[in-house]
Amino acid sequence: MTIFLVYSFYSKINIAKKISKLALKKELAVCVNINQNINSLYIWKNKLCDEKEVEVSFKTTNLKVKKLISFLEKTHPYECPAIISFPIKKVNKKFLNWVNS
């Protein structure tokens, strides 16, 4: 079974933790990493934005990745959230077994 990493970004740590814990409780992800030290630069509604954000990476399986993305879209506070996923091509066997169990 393939492992997927799903990334998204939030404005506040408490929101990131709340959504991460819900994803874990709903068994949509097996592990979540939160990085508070992100500086995002982007254009939004013709304005240059320079914001502090919280990066969240969810680890999940190919069987749950679509449900996780749907959950993140529904619960995300942003009008147009970045929810990015990609499959992991290589991973150590012990970790793979843990994710799949």
What's the CATH number where 17 sits? 3.30.70.120
Domain count within the chain: 1
Burial of 25 from C-beta contacts in 10 A (0-12 / 13-18 / 19+):
exposed
Are 62 and 4 in contact, with CB atoms under 8 Å apart? Answer: yes
Residue 100 has pLDDT above 90, yes or no: no
> In this structure, what token pair is assigned to residue 95?
């970790």
Q: Which residues of 80-94 are buried (b: 16+ CB within 10 A; e: fewer)?
A: eeebebeeeeeeeee
Residue 5 has pLDDT above 90, yes or no: yes
The pTM of this model reads 0.93
Please give the residue range of the domain that contains residue 29: 3-100
Residue 1 has pLDDT above 90, yes or no: no
CA atoms within 13 A on the CB side of 5: 11
Q: What does the pLDDT read at residue 101? A: 86
